[in-house]
Amino acid sequence: MRITKKALVLLLAAILLIGLVGCNASSSAVNKEYQETNKGENAKKYIKGKFTALISKMNKDQEKQGYLSSEDFAAFKSEFNLIANASKSSAEVDFNGADNINDNVALLKEDINSLGGKAAVKAVNRYKSKDVVYESTIMKPLNHLMQTSDVYYDYNSLNMFKKDHSDSSVVSMEKVGKDAASSINSIELSYKSVDTLKAEIKKRENNFNAEEVDMLNSIVQNLYSSLQNQVAVLNHFQEVYVDDGTTVEDKINAAVTDFNDSRKELSEFEESLGVEYQEE
């Protein structure tokens, strides 16, 4: 059977249409692959940029006095551990020591360089996620401050003072006064932790909503108030103190109330994020 000219035209048109559909499908797949590759490359560049900027700042801070100050280290530690956690790296800076810092910097650098495209995208998402931000930068120091502020904790300064002087008949007033002053100094060291936490919350506030930021600040402020009341209790045992008309019992009750309010808020906050602090 001979094909007619009209049938030939229709056949060619059908073939061309099939070809175009195939080309479009192929082009779409290639374009999607390109976009995913490009997204992964940009994500890796983002994480590497955060890491590089952090190390550059650390080096500059070290050059000032040959080591990282406690303030500079606190800022470095929180950002480093956030990048590490986001990247699923086992690197973690624990203390301000050259070996600890250098070993973990090398490990994190290696882990970031080995990130694939999809893993890099996940790392960026984790870096900006409120639960990861909280776990990496705020949770540990906040829970540590919570523990040391508890007047029933064995190593709380007020509780230790109380245990040491449960029988006041066997020590001199001078000794009691000196021990009270020493305990006050110990508690006031925690004020620095309060300041560091407030600064960290301010730095990370864009990762949380307004209510969550207020809640975090309230937790820290209540702990600070509890510590101030504990200092006020100890002031009663110094040779000279200002009598503001409140009793030791009043101040202890105020310290306990502030602490309990803070602990309740912290529990609610961590539950809302779906995180749980594990004591080491």
The predicted structure's pLDDT at residue 247: 87
> In this model, does residue 215 exceed pLDDT 50?
yes
The predicted model gives 167-187 an average pLDDT of: 83
Of 2-6, 29-33, 181-185, 194-198, minimum mean pLDDT range:
29-33
How high does pLDDT run on average in the chain? 88
pLDDT above 60: residue 29: no
Between residues 34 and 157, the one the model is more confident about: 157
pLDDT of 232: 93
Mean pLDDT calculated for residue range 136-143: 96
For the segment 211-219, the average pLDDT, to the nearest whole number, is 98
Would you call 131 exposed, middle or buried from its count of C-beta atoms within 10 A (0-12, 13-18, 19+)? middle
For the segment 227-250, the average pLDDT, to the nearest whole number, is 85
Per residue in 32-86, pLDDT (tens digit) is 554 566 889 999 999 999 999 999 999 999 998 888 999 999 999 999 999 999 9
Mean pLDDT of 178-207: 94
148 vs 163, higher pLDDT? 148
Most distant CA pair in the chain: distance in Å?
A: 125
> What pLDDT band is residue 171 in, cutting at 50, 70 and 90?
low
pLDDT greater than 90 at residue 93: yes
